[in-house]
Structure 1
Amino acid sequence: MAPPLLALQDIRLSFGGPSLIENAALTVSAGERLCLVGRNGSGKSTLLKIAAGLVEADSGTRFLQPGTTVRYLAQEPDLSAFATTRTYVEAGLGPGDDPHRATRLLESLGLTGEETPKSLSGGETRRAALAEALAPEPDVLLLDEPTNHLDLPAIEWLEETLRSMRSAIVLISHDRRFLERLSRTTVWLDRGKTRRLDQGFSAFEGWRDAILNEEEKERERLDRKISQEIDWVRYGVTARRKRNMGRLRKLEGLRTERREQRRAVGEVKFGAAVGDLSGKLVVEAFGVSKAYDERVIVRDFSTRILRGDRIALVGANGAGKTTLLGLLTGAIKPDEGRVKLGTNLEMVTLDQRRESLDPTTTLSAALTEGRGDSVIVNGEARHVIGYMRDFLFTPEQARAPISALSGGERGRLMLARALAKTSNLLVLDEPTNDLDLETLDLLEEMLDDYAGTILLVSHDRDFLDRVATSVIVAEGDGTWTDYAGGYTDMIAQRGEAAPARLIAKSERKDEAKAPAAPRAAQKVKLSFKQKHALETLPKRIATLETEIATLGAVLQDGNLFARDRKRFDTATARMSAAQAERDAAEEEWLTLEMLRETLEG
């Protein structure tokens, strides 16, 4: 077996307190596609920096195969030392690298190469950094949240580009769909240690849950053992009038083991403060249009939003999603048409830029708005420390300035502020930015339970599928179309996804003046392959359900882990794979069924 290109062994790192990373490992072989997952603050980005050679561990070894090229994409790239995006990307090329590839990547990512760093938005900075990392086609590509600030066409373009590259890739991302499509191996960083699963992200969550469940059972067994030993100490010693010091030492050892066990990090406790019911009609738009100079953002758009709807706005960066959101909420006045807002609306907005957060303000002051040490939630006062704990903040962070928080922590803070206010209309502009996967799960559950109406902008396809009841899509030239269902449902109804290739700004300006190109014609009938899949998938799903039930019965044996670890691991891995196969089959069947219904009129 060929040695790995990059390997980390027994990595340990702390920043003066408890170890952030202890006994962690990471091996990357040629052509491998690996995702690194874990909670916000678990040390994923730090471990990736150690792999990139940018941070030195307290102990452990880093091995890099001689001659191996490595490129690292940071969460917050710094282009300030370069005159233009082109000079920045070309500076990353090595001897023998193709300079024309740098130009092609910039153009594909919608940049001309002449932009100055000071003029770039967050999304444009991320695109330039991607071009810099991808241009040399390195042996190992380390990507930290590569989809942050990218729109859907850019994300889909990036997926296809990474698939076609020969590089070994290590990914950190909160985008489930992105991880599922690209990863073949998963490394879980949890409580400072790494665990490796030789399957892609689609199998991860079932595997993780099985491990956590087994840990909980082990803790319960240990608790019972401690209880038994305490009973013996209380009654057995008195009855015998003699202390068995060995058994007392065993009890103390059990207590120490229990005390030192590192539990999984607690869960965020989400719950929106819901106000009085709004009227049945929330928003109604009649022939709304909006333009800036000669550029039409919205053209003759009409829609009706009712109480309880979850409406998502989808489109490329610059398409006008935030503008349309402002029109629908009354924050922006249309040039033509009118917007009618319903009665008794209590609106709370979460903005994507975190602009309402003063970096010098402390975390507690941001939650209490500087008024004492209480937060008003659902009309009741709660101590700020208790409310902070609901969102995984420690008491020590109460007096820390917001500038000291990570991107994920700032995202949780914005959610904590927004959800404390009573509302019956939530307006969420990129709410998933920087949130970890577990927090995303809980946010989705909270939104599912929310009794009001939701308007949201997001580029997270999995999040859209789980939350949205309707998707409004930018079709180009100011045209917006409303589709029922989530993102996958929208694709089935359109017969095509959003374009995966981007166009340079100079081309966009020309296209803005020209009439919109007609959309590709939809298929008039299902292909033979699609018909066959539609007919056979239900049987495949039923077979997988039976297999999952059988494996579940095997794993119900609480002693299996201790008695036959190999069988436990095999059954756990197969159950995760079977669940992923079933979910994929169900999604494929649903997509094909909706496409069939659409084509049949």
Structure 2
Amino acid sequence: MNYLTVENISKAYGERVLFEDISFGINKDQKIAFVAKNGSGKTSILNIIAGLDTPDTGQITSRKGIYIAYLAQDDKLNPELTIEETIFSTENKILTIVKQYEKALENPDEVEAYQHAFELMEQHNAWDFETQYKQILSRLKLDDLSQKVGTLSGGQKKRLGLAIVLINKPDLLILDEPTNHLDLEMIEWLEAFFAKEKITLFMVTHDRYFLERVCNEIIELDNGQLYKYKGNYSYYLQNKEERQALEAVNLSKAKSLFKKELEWMRRQPKARTTKSKSRIDDFTEIKEKAHQRRNEHEVQLEINMERLGSKIVELHKLKKSFDDKVILDGFDYVFTRGERIGIIGKNGTGKSSFLNILTGKVPVDGGKVIVGETVKFGYYTQKGIVIKEGQKVIDVIKEFGEYIPLTKGRKISASQLLERFLFDKKKQHDFVEKLSGGEQKRLYLCAVLIQNPNFLILDEPTNDLDVVTLNVLENFLLDYPGNLMVVSHDRYFMDKIVDNLFVFRGDGIVENFPGNYSDFRAYEDSKEEEPKEEKKEVVAPVKTPQKGKLSFNENREFGLLEKDIEKLQKKKAIIETQFMNNEVSSEDINDKSIELQQIIEDLETKEERWFELSMKLEG
């Protein structure tokens, strides 16, 4: 079933053409990722599909009656509302039914109205709505429902926007970088959520593990052409490589044919026959093909950094707290030359604060930070670049240096550095405020690198960078000879470039783990869980309590509780039997384990609530 069709859309800003004649469709149950370089118009396409912008040409057609929700990079939320008020102010079919039921409860004498409202609650299983949205908010660490939106951080607002679109259960969900501002635990939960929910997705994301595990189709915009791949990220990479190899072969053939035709053209007399004119026309077409160039501008920097001495950085008994929140509690570490350390942990555990302590931007409460004399930090922060009005791209880089030294006595100018990072000559003279968010981040990275650091610190460098730029950055970092420290929630990125982790557990606990992120997850999953008290299974009684005696909130939670418990018990028994009989394939073990854990959690929640309601009714 087709949900939405994009037909021949184009978009330009002045002389700058983002894309032309783009066409594709989105069908029910597809989970599509849209891949393109920064500045290619990804966000513009999302805005057009969501109805927030209009194309210069072409049209968008959506199926009548479908509900489309859009998680943009910057959601406009009312700062005066609380988190709970914000959720209830959205257009949601279930909320309408709940409000109708609340109104019916206020007028108990209107029996028909109450019966109709009650049947709608049953039909749409609306009794569990409050439980469901509170579970989603809890997973996204938004537990204080009375907190005003105006007091939330940027990351919290992004997570609230994500919670709202998940709670509203749209037919088609459009997402612009959904994993930004989520910690690793939240991202893995979101992956599992999308895996089990029947929802149609169209998204832009740089998180390649997320692409791998969530998406079943990838659409790529490359040099103005659309390419469609019906598979996950691994399938996309393999087929893209094959496509580019075939293009290279065809280009080589076209060049060879061009040379032959060029010789023929030079030998021809001025008078042209019909046959020769036809061949001339063919020659023009061949010439165009032969002169096609893939403008990839791959980054291949070989920075000749200043030499590091024997003493790098030493951390002795570091202590740091913010009010009652402990970040470090006696942390010790001595860095050695060439270490590549990744930092992971939940949001709010002090990862960015640790980087600021390391670079002397934040003082410690106790202990010492000793930095070697030869150390030159290059610090890429989440704040990004400070845009000055009227400043051009090239001017930003020149503020930090005119050139950087490369190996073998070579130098590279500021302009050449920008070219290597995908800023062509024309783009270098654009005003910085005209750049996309991803292009500004790429520019900031250049500004850090031109200072020629030998200890590079990157705080969430992958946010807003496209997949192409990420590959370029990774290749550079793999060759980088200095010390490297990275805070990132991008698991693919971390797996590729770091070989040691600092794990921030919270409450001042920091663990040193020898390995990358996948090694850490495998280790964590293999640890034996602490024994838990066995819980007796609840068998729901045959007799149903009279729901009319309960308050609305209790009635809403109670709903079809008995049937839900029975269904969950059956599902739990089936999966446990499959594990006991070795019926689960190795590929499905992880998904089945996640499913079973979710069933157990849901079952415990519903059983406990059933007992509470039963006790109240008996009293």
TM-score range, shorter chain: 0.7 to 0.9
User: Which region of structure 1 is more displaced relative to structure 2, 231-240 or 455-464?
Assistant: 231-240
Q: Tell me if 1:109 matches 2:109.
A: no
Contact 2:342 2:494 in 1 (8 A): yes
CA 1:245–1:5: 2 relative to 1, 3 Å: closer
Counterpart residue identity of residue 175, structure 1: D
TM-score by length of 2: 0.74
Counterpart residue identity of residue 232, structure 2: G
Which runs of structure 1 show a deviation greater than 6 angstroms over 4 or more consecutive aligned residues?
238-243
Of the candidates 443, 461, 464, which is equivalent to residue 494 of structure 2? 464
TM-score by length of 1: 0.76
Tell me by how many angstroms 1:270 deviates. 4.7
Q: Tell me if 1:30 matches 2:28.
A: yes
**For residues 89 and 271 of structure 2, what CA distance do their matches in structure 1 show?**
81
Q: Where does residue 299 of structure 2 map in the other structure?
A: 269
Q: Where does residue 285 of structure 1 map in the other structure?
A: 315
Contact 2:78 2:86 in 1 (8 A): no
Three-state SS of the structure 2 residue aligned to 1:5 is strand
**For residues 85 and 110 of structure 1, what CA distance do their matches in structure 2 show?**
12
Q: Where does residue 420 of structure 1 map in the other structure?
A: 450
**For residues 90 and 478 of structure 2, what CA distance do their matches in structure 1 show?**
45
**For residues 450 and 134 of structure 2, what CA distance do their matches in structure 1 show?**
47
Q: Where does residue 193 of structure 1 map in the other structure?
A: 225
Tell me by how many angstroms 1:129 deviates. 0.9
Q: Tell me if 1:406 matches 2:432.
A: no
Instruction: Give the alignment of 1:9-48 within 5 angstroms.
Output: 9-17=7-15, 19-48=17-46
Q: Where does residue 553 of structure 1 map in the other structure?
A: none
**For residues 131 and 299 of structure 1, what CA distance do their matches in structure 2 show?**
34
Q: Tell me if 1:211 matches 2:209.
A: no
Q: Where does residue 75 of structure 2 map in the other structure?
A: 77
CA 1:336–1:465: 2 relative to 1, 3 Å: same
CA 1:464–1:268: 2 relative to 1, 3 Å: same
Contact 2:69 2:174 in 1 (8 A): yes
**For residues 118 and 396 of structure 1, what CA distance do their matches in structure 2 show?**
40
Contact 1:275 1:346 in 2 (8 A): no
Q: CA RMSD in A?
A: 3.3
Of the candidates 279, 283, 290, which is equivalent to residue 251 of structure 1? 283
Q: Where does residue 394 of structure 2 map in the other structure?
A: 364
Per-residue CA distance 1:366-386 (angstroms, 9 max, x = gap)? 111188xx4445597755443
Contact 1:137 1:166 in 2 (8 A): no
Tell me by how many angstroms 1:106 deviates. 2.8
Contact 1:190 1:264 in 2 (8 A): no
Instruction: Give the alignment of 1:187-586 within 5 angstroms.
Output: 187-235=219-267, 237=269, 244-258=276-290, 261=292, 263-271=293-301, 273-358=303-388, 360-369=390-399, 374-378=402-406, 382-495=412-525
Q: Tell me if 1:124 matches 2:122.
A: no
Contact 1:137 1:165 in 2 (8 A): no
**For residues 113 and 394 of structure 1, what CA distance do their matches in structure 2 show?**
48
**For residues 126 and 360 of structure 1, what CA distance do their matches in structure 2 show?**
30
**For residues 507 and 463 of structure 2, what CA distance do their matches in structure 1 show?**
28
Contact 1:19 1:192 in 2 (8 A): no
Per-residue CA distance 1:345-373 (angstroms, 9 max, x = gap)? 122111111154546532121111188xx
Tell me by how many angstroms 1:145 deviates. 0.5
Instruction: Give the alignment of 1:127-138 within 5 angstroms.
Output: 127-138=159-170
Q: Tell me if 1:160 matches 2:181.
A: no
**For residues 399 and 242 of structure 1, what CA distance do their matches in structure 2 show?**
48
CA 1:127–1:339: 2 relative to 1, 3 Å: same
- Number of paired residues? 502
Counterpart residue identity of residue 136, structure 2: L
Q: Where does residue 60 of structure 1 map in the other structure?
A: 58
Three-state SS of the structure 2 residue aligned to 1:389 is helix
**For residues 242 and 58 of structure 1, what CA distance do their matches in structure 2 show?**
41
Tell me by how many angstroms 1:181 deviates. 0.9
Per-residue CA distance 1:452-495 (angstroms, 9 max, x = gap)? 11111111111111111100001221100000111011223334
CA 1:359–1:264: 2 relative to 1, 3 Å: farther
**For residues 42 and 164 of structure 1, what CA distance do their matches in structure 2 show?**
32
**For residues 56 and 241 of structure 1, what CA distance do their matches in structure 2 show?**
49
Tell me by how many angstroms 1:117 deviates. 3.9
Three-state SS of the structure 2 residue aligned to 1:181 is helix
Per-residue CA distance 1:313-361 (angstroms, 9 max, x = gap)? 1111111012222333444333223233334112211111115454653
Q: Where does residue 50 of structure 1 map in the other structure?
A: 48
Three-state SS of the structure 2 residue aligned to 1:189 is strand
**Structure 2, unaligned runs of 5 or more:** 96-125, 530-577, 590-619
Per-residue CA distance 1:129-170 (angstroms, 9 max, x = gap)? 101211110111111100112221221222222223221111
Considering only CA atoms, is the larger Rg found in Structure 1 or Structure 2? Answer: 2
**For residues 50 and 298 of structure 1, what CA distance do their matches in structure 2 show?**
46
**For residues 492 and 198 of structure 1, what CA distance do their matches in structure 2 show?**
29
Q: Tell me if 1:91 matches 2:122.
A: no
**Structure 1, unaligned runs of 5 or more:** 500-527, 538-580, 586-601
Counterpart residue identity of residue 324, structure 1: F
Counterpart residue identity of residue 173, structure 2: L
Contact 1:274 1:450 in 2 (8 A): no
Three-state SS of the structure 1 residue aligned to 2:69 is strand
Three-state SS of the structure 1 residue aligned to 2:2 is coil
Tell me by how many angstroms 1:65 deviates. 1.5
